[in-house]
Structure 1
């Protein structure tokens, strides 16, 4: 009997390694203070709380257990408890909310990185998801073209996808850092960043979530004819970085001249003062995207 009990305990330990976990993290002092109103939340110092979270993450990783870190928002938690009829001042309710975050909220897998690296990555993921949801909503609200019935948001997304593909296809070899900014919306200027590395065969490697967010921001700018632009910095071993730029014009991208790219990078946006150019950087006109290789735009 003792042997059977010991075997069962061993098997349960093995099974525990098969269970993935999620921890909801309060990333800043403001959110931490908001949770302190609950008596069941027993932490008193945010720094100590973060230290304990990091120790727990390391311990789980040492046991071979996978953990995902989710951004815990106290306001969303309170709304969740109200909608579900749960007692917000209970650890079980926080656990249920965290389980929901694992499915729908911004998360980052823990891979042994310091919490100082994980926190900004988690915040970036939250911003990325919020931007994607916001732009997707606005694109959906555009409805259908009154003339031809085409879905305007979908057409803009298709156009933006084609433009991004051509930007990457025509770019010189190297790692690419792209930034798309679109202004003129109820919120502040929308900005999306896309990092693209090359695979061994030269094809671009794009994170799917980052690619969707970037494309949706570009699509919104195209569909609403908003002021905006796209810049790309290319870094390759053994040579200077190259910077290309385009402005959003009509339903496409208009290439910037080398002088315009230089002015954009070497002028302070607020004061208008000149900024010293970076060393080992070339400001260049972009390659021709080839209008015949792009999906048609919607012109009604």
Structure 2
């Protein structure tokens, strides 16, 4: 029998209807528990952690807070995180701040001695605050990472506030904070350009009022192409350096470079008048081999060369932002 176009169309329609019918039966066979598990895998969760004993003790004033031992609390936290990951959920961990929580409840007229209030605080604060994605790492790794993330966020926010408060230059009217940020960005790019290829670890330290602002930055640069910088880390680093420039703070910057098959190289600079002035080899050695708290000497690291800071090309704007 000859197969004309009409017959082919009829068979195709019947085949499509059969597929749809089979698919409908397959969906009907999916059980409610299966559907709940599928939905759980698409639901993100957040846990706010009482990382230290002092914060944990502060929460024990609430009768609805079920725990009385910090170590046992942390064990249950780790078990819960592991369970959430096993079920395929995406979970982030934030820090729970009891003082901030009390203020939050007072501002929102919530009862602080209620689990729902703690859950609401966790959801709202963790949405914009520092947090770490849980990927199965032990708490011994997660907690220091989370605390470091929180400290970095607080440092960045404080440095940003300092820049915003500097106001305009009395002589030229230029915004000091913005000009200082631009200068800091230029200095960082010139430093990385001069440092060449390798894995670079930078630390910037700037005194500001009664605080010591410290920012770190990890950068990788191949023999070809630009340096690869994490955008968040880069913004934090530049903001702290900019705060030092804007406030005329006597800050410092150190650079450690690692390249395959070679000894690590350590360089250092002194921040003065909006410029990074190279330290001598002896000054770099003293900076790395002296305990900052006690002033006692520290043994130099093996397989490390202590070198002077290298000169940096000046920024385009030679005038100080003040």
Q: Normalization by structure 2: what TM-score?
A: 0.86
Give the Cα–Cα distance (whole angstroms) in 2 for the partners of residues 288 and 37 of structure 1: 57
Alignment partners' CA distance in 2, 1:216 and 1:222 = 10
Whether 1:231 and 2:254 are equivalent positions in the alignment is: yes
After superposition, the C-alpha distances for 1:242-271 in whole angstroms (9 at most, x for unaligned) are 001110010111111222212222234455
* Selected match of 1:153 from 169, 172, 177: 177
2:320 maps to what in 1?
A: 298
Q: Deviations over 1:265-295 (max 9, x none)?
A: 223445544433222111112333222x645
C-alpha separation between the residues in 2 aligned to 1:141 and 1:100?
A: 28
Aligned to 1:109: 133
Contact 2:197/2:222 (<8 A) preserved: no
Task: Note the 1:254-293 alignment, pairs <5 A.
Answer: 254-270=277-293, 272-291=295-314
Deviation (angstroms), 1:296: 4.5
Partner residue, 1:133: 157
Unaligned segments of structure 2, at least 5 residues: 1-26
Rg (Cα) greater in structure: 2
For the 8 Å contact 2:197–2:220, the answer to whether it is kept is no
Q: Deviations over 1:208-265 (max 9, x none)?
A: 2222221111111111111110000111121110001110010111111222212222
Give 1:204's aligned residue. Answer: 227
The aligned residue for residue 23 of structure 2 is none
Alignment check: 8 A CA contact 1:251 1:297 kept: no
Per-residue deviation, 1:51: 0.7
Q: Which of residues 118, 123, 133 in structure 1 aligns to 2:142? A: 118
Asked if 1:99 is matched to 2:157, the reply is no
Name the counterpart of 1:220: 243
2:246 and 2:321 in contact (8 A); partners too? no
Tell me, in whole angstroms, the C-alpha distance in 1 between the residues paired with 2:70 and 2:297. Answer: 42
How far does residue 8 in structure 1 lie from its aligned partner after superposition? 4.3
Tell me if structure 2 keeps the 8 A contact 1:163–1:294.
Answer: no
Note if contact 2:46-2:123 (Cα within 8 Å) is conserved in structure 1.
Answer: yes
Question: Which residue of structure 1 lines up, in the alignment, with residue 111 of structure 2?
Answer: 87
1:33 and 2:33 aligned: no
1:8-47 mapped onto 2 (5 Å cutoff): 8-47=32-71
Root-mean-square deviation (Å) = 2.1
